[in-house]
Amino acid sequence: MGRRVVVTGIGLVTPLGHDVETVWSRLLNGESGVGRITLFDASNYATKIAAEVKNWDVDDIGEDPNDWKNQDRHTKFAVGAGYKAMKDSGLLDEGVRSLDPDRFGVYTGAGEGEQSFSDFAAMMVAGLSDNGDLDEGKFIRKGLEILNPVRELEQEPNMPAAHLAAMFNAKGPNVNCLTACAASAQAIGEATEIIRRNEADVMIAGGAHSMIHPFGVTGFNLLTALSVSNDEPEKASKPFDKRRDGFIIGEGSGMLILEELEHAKVRGAKIYGEIAGYGATSDAYRITDTHPEGRGAISCMKLALEDAGIKPEDVDYINAHGTSTGVNDRVESLSIREVFGKYAYQIPVSSTKSMTGHLIAAAGATECIYCLLAIRDNIVPPTINFETRDPDCDLDYVPNVARKVQVDVALSNSFGFGGQDVSLVVKRYAV
């Protein structure tokens, strides 16, 4: 059968909380993490709401915040979730030195950090000539005075992976992929393949992102992708509901400790589940639009099921990409019907983005963790704010209330801008 990959630790920093059990409890209770934007003045923006991470800093894991003042939010989130996952795995208690550092790697799907919006604005003002035109030479000279080179470096997407490797002496493969909303799911899939190929025994895998800043919100507003239901933030994310008007931008991190099965068994690690299947495809269509017939989504779900060696009827739960945008929800529903046939109507399908918002690059990892918890507890989280049925979205979306159900196999979907599609199959661990 080859090398099997299991999950032995999980960590979360999300709009619903900073520890796994708090986040999971709030998801099952149908609580929303969406509110008014506080990270900047959004009063003049079309979208004034987001799912922010509240009251988080690296001192929560024993790190001195002064040592991290130049690091961006996405890195701080990643370090927090990564530390919690390592702690949960037992590897910190045993001592990281017990790991062969050359067989221990990091694979993240992390987005770019917050752009230095205020720095850039200051550069623009400073670079104006007396007649109000931009003086390019003056702009560059002032930029060299204003910009912090370390701060600029820390915006890079690979910084979370670099910091995690340094924290835990992980000298094996160190990679970051940025495939939009599919990034952290792809990181988990590719990290699994690294272990399967015998290039590592343990990998920290997951993602981190924050785009709740003026550039991020402006960009998605220009694409008309964000909800403008500002009056009732907690009700704005409504995946698969006919009233949906766009996604809610969120932020945070989810990290998993992936471990080769025999390596985990030797040290007596607890096992959340097995990463059994991974499928990755491209729509090869448009940059912002999902293929209307779901060709990439259909292919990647089929590949993940094939990789896991299971039939569609073996799947007990689907954590949908479910962004709350018109096209995505319709096409994902169509794609699930195509892959699962009549059985599609018997599978609970829910979108946890209805509560967390869309964590962009970090979404896939957090949602994979929710699948593992569904397997652990035999309960699936709801899709909240589901009130008005859409004829194009006719599956069982677990409306508004969590449901007890036997979950041995779960499928997690992540579909990104640019047409990147990833599906992961996670299974209850069995000998």
**What residues act catalytically?**
181, 321, 358
The residue written with tokens 């590719």 in the block is 190
> Is-contact 142 121, C-beta < 8 A?
no
Distance of alpha carbon 169 from the chain centroid? 24
CA distance 365 to 387: 28
Closest CA to 107 of 368, 363, 365: 365
Kindly give, in sequence order, each residue whose CB lies less than 8 Å from that of residue 110, ignoring residues fewer than 6 positions away: 74, 78, 157, 158, 159, 160, 161, 176, 178, 183, 184, 207, 208, 209, 361, 362
Element (H, E) at 401: none
Whole-angstrom Cα Rg for the chain: 21
* Strands 409-416 and 35-36, sheet pairing: unpaired
DSSP letter, residue 236: S
Dihedral of CA atoms 78, 189, 414, 153 in degrees, nearest 10, equals 40
